[in-house]
Structure 1
Amino acid sequence: MSTPPRLTPLLQQFDFACKRLTDRMAGPVVDSGNGTDVEAGAMTDDEYLWEPAPDCWSIRRRSHGPGARATLLVGAGDWGRDSASSPHPTPPPFTTIAWRLGHLSEMLTLRADHTNGSHALTRDEYRFHGDAAGALTAFDSGVTAWRAALLGADDTALDTVGYSTYPYGSDPDDPFIETVWWVNQEVLHHGAEIALLRDLYRVRQ
């Protein structure tokens, strides 16, 4: 099936944003934006879990319980993502690279499942990782799954309200092309946050 022309620029943007973020986390170099390679060392476990401010939300061992102002650890397995039932704390807690990357990977994986998969996967079933390498692999898996969902969408699907049944957003009420745009901006803005946190970790005192 050919890619609908109006999906092509969104798919290209998604691919570029994901590759740039992956390179920024894994190294050894990242595109500076003008085609010049800039050195980027691989992210360590310490950096991945670094809490640069008091009362951060992060990915934590389930046996340790949720962090400050969190009421639960979302996910399955030994590690969970700090969260709280609505209403969420105000002001929002500062979140670690682990939290932000876990959020992206979970979102991509679940949205893919609710687009061209079982339409049943929940946050409680998603497995988070306490190490940088595992988190990078999970992100790559989420990217691959979501990209496959996009490639399966034709023009009719792009206009279909509720083509994605992802239950943790407005997807059931939106045309699919709006969901595609939203996912791109999630990758772009959380990717920029992760890049900034890497810079802050590098120059920390």
Structure 2
Amino acid sequence: MTPSPPRLRPLLAQFDFACERLLGRLAGPVTDSGDGTDTEVEPLTDDEYFWEPVPGCWTVRRRADGPGPRAAFLAGGGPWGRDAAPYPHPWPPPVTTLAWRLSHLTEMLVLRADHTAGSRSATRDEHPVSGDAATAIEAFRTGAAAWRQALLGADDPALDTVGYCAYPYGSDAEEPFLDIVWWVNQEVLHHGAEIALLRDLHRAHRQA
């Protein structure tokens, strides 16, 4: 395979680090503590996956139960869905559960991979939403691998091509591909940090 363009390599390395750290934080048995040492981590439980730190959270729900507070519908396909609403979204934004955040990340990675190097036909309506922690972690792992594979197929001219990724739920059609790669990285980084914090808060709540 042709080596990745020099401009892409640091972003690819950042993506790999962010995904590895998030997966370690979710599944264990250890995660990078940030200082080069490993910290033991218990695998995410279903209780944590669905934990609502405040009333009125947006989360992942059985489709038969309908959407939650201030949500208009359940996004995704299959028996589970993720609370959602059309633009303009509710303000202030609802607090979202770990399940919601992980589902959002996974959907973004899977669909952007498809609209970059796949069929370019995947939709939110068909994307499965995971109803348990273990399945959700594996779905994220698969989505991250798919997006990484799509990145490996991008040559240097592709990085400057507007609309190289045809993902229909963002500004991809108006942005150079390199900007989309940067955006995906910051999504994984900031939602990954939120997920790690929710794990910490759940542990403290359980011990209180």
Shorter-chain TM-score above 0.5: yes
Determine the structure 2 residue equivalent to 1:86.
87
Q: Per-residue CA shift, 1:125-162, capped at 9, x if unaligned?
A: 10011100000010011001000000000001001000
Secondary structure, counterpart of 1:38 in structure 2: strand
Counterpart of 1:49?
50
In 1, Cα distance between equivalents of 2:108 and 2:179: 15
Structure 2 residue 27 is the aligned partner of structure 1 residue 36: no
Counterpart residue type for residue 202 of structure 2: Y
Task: Indicate the residue corresponding to 1:131 in structure 2.
Answer: 132
Match of 2:200 in 1: 199
Aligned residues: 205
Task: Point out the more displaced range, 94-103 or 32-41.
Answer: 32-41
State the distance in 2 between where 1:104 and 1:116 align: 18
Summarize deviations over 1:92-138 as a string: whole Å, max 9, x none.
00000000000000000000000011111110010011100000010
Query: Alpha-carbon deviation of 1:201?
Result: 0.2
Deviation at 1:86? 1.4
Give the deviation of 1:34 after TM superposition: 1.4
Q: Which amino acid aligns with 2:182?
A: W
Amino acid at match of 2:21: R
Alignment of 1:183 onto 2:184: yes
Q: Tell me how far 1:39 sits from its aligned partner.
A: 1.4
CA distance in 2, matches of 1:112, 1:30: 26
Q: Distance in 1 between matches of 2:91 and 2:102?
A: 22
Aligned twin of 2:22? 21
Give the partner amino acid of 1:144.
A
RMSD value over aligned CA atoms?
Answer: 0.6
Partners of 2:166 and 2:130 in 1: how far apart? 25
CA distance in 2, matches of 1:17, 1:97: 17
Instruction: State how far apart, in whole Å, the 2-side matches of 1:40 and 1:2 are.
Output: 35
Q: Distance in 1 between matches of 2:59 and 2:45?
A: 15
Q: CA deviation at 1:65?
A: 0.5
- Counterparts of 1:68-83 in structure 2, within 5 Å, are 68-83=69-84
- Residue 104 of structure 1 aligns with which residue? 105
The separation in 2 between residues aligned to 1:170 and 1:34, in whole angstroms, is 36
Deviations along 1:24-57, whole A, 9 cap, x unmatched?
0001111111111111111100100101111000
TM-score, L = length of structure 2: 0.98
Q: Structure 1: which amino acid aligns with 2:87? A: S
Q: 1:164 matched to which residue of 2?
A: 165
Task: Provide the C-alpha distance between the structure 2 equivalents of 1:29 and 1:153, rounded to a whole number of angstroms.
Answer: 32
Distance between the aligned counterparts of 2:87 and 2:7, measured in 1?
A: 36
Indicate the residue corresponding to 1:145 in structure 2. 146
For 1:147 and 1:27, locate their aligned partners in 2 and report how far apart those are by CA, in whole Å: 22
Unpaired runs of 5+ residues, structure 1, are none
Deviation at 1:187, TM superposition (A): 0.2
Alpha-carbon separation, structure 2, partners of 1:137 and 1:24: 13
Moved over 3 A (4+): none
For the residues of structure 1 that align with 2:97 and 2:131, how far apart are their CA atoms? 12
SS at match of 1:122: coil
TM-score by structure 1 length?
Answer: 0.99
